Amino acid sequence: MKALLLNVALTILAVGILPSCSFFQPASPQPGATSLGTEKKVKPSQAAWLGSLWSSAENRRQAGGFLPAQVGLAVKASASTLPVDKYGRPTYRSESVRHRYVRTTSYSHQENELGAEGRLNAMGTILKYDRVRSAAADWSRYPVGTAFRIKGLPHVYVVDDYGRSLAGTNTIDIYHPTLKLMKKWATRDAEINVIRWGSWEQSANLLRGRTKYAHCALMYYATLAKIRRQRVVQRAEREAVNPSL
């Protein structure tokens, strides 16, 4: 009997002691540690940093996908003293200025514009929409064959078309194959870099037989005037090098 009472007493004593032992106590969390079932908290400063990374990536995605990047302040500032067209965009007099601030619009052959023959451009070839893409402009300002890039986009654009509403302006019309893409681009400012100038002579030759149309006549005579000025400048340069000519 005494042995039984002693065993009971020892059992009660053990039950009272064991929970107080550190071996059976749940480990207290260390500073900065989290359990597997607890979501890791992000500090406000970290959240702001991650948000800035996200927005930057989103801006790059948009710029590199379809829409142009914003025009640089330096390009706008350098153009601020130039004369402007009816849309308030600068008129560049010198071909040496290749980084330009321009107004762009968008067009598609699906508009079925009067005088536009399907997907043919003003040169009589197919409008392009791949790594090289078609663009329309006033050929007396951007002659046929002029190639340029748009800031934020990976494509090369080539002027192979013109439009009635473009004559007398500095606007460049960007070709898109569908009305949906055309409307998505709409009208927006862009920064371009001219990588190759086209041919004034080819522009004049193509326009010569189309002067019955007012916009073609305007571009044709303006192109002729530019060709004459270039010839005068070239003659003066040759005479300066060799006065005996």
Structure pTM? 0.71
pLDDT in tens, 180-192: 999 999 999 999 9
- DSSP-derived letter for residue 124 is S
**Nearest Cα to 204, choosing from 219, 190, 186, 191?**
219
φ, ψ dihedrals at 179, nearest 5°:
-65, -35
| pLDDT range class, residue 30, cuts 50, 70, 90 | very low
Strand segments, DSSP code E, in 69-151 are 99-107, 132-136, 147-150
- CB of 216 closer than 8 Å to CB of 169: no
Number of H-type helices and E-type strands within the chain = 6, 6
| Lowest model confidence (mean pLDDT) among 58-67, 141-150, 201-210 | 58-67
The residues spanned by each domain of the chain are 73-199
Q: Which fold has domain 73-199?
A: Barwin-like endoglucanases (2.40.40)
CB atoms within 10 A of CB 199: 14
Angle, helices 214-241 vs 200-208, to 10°: value is: 150
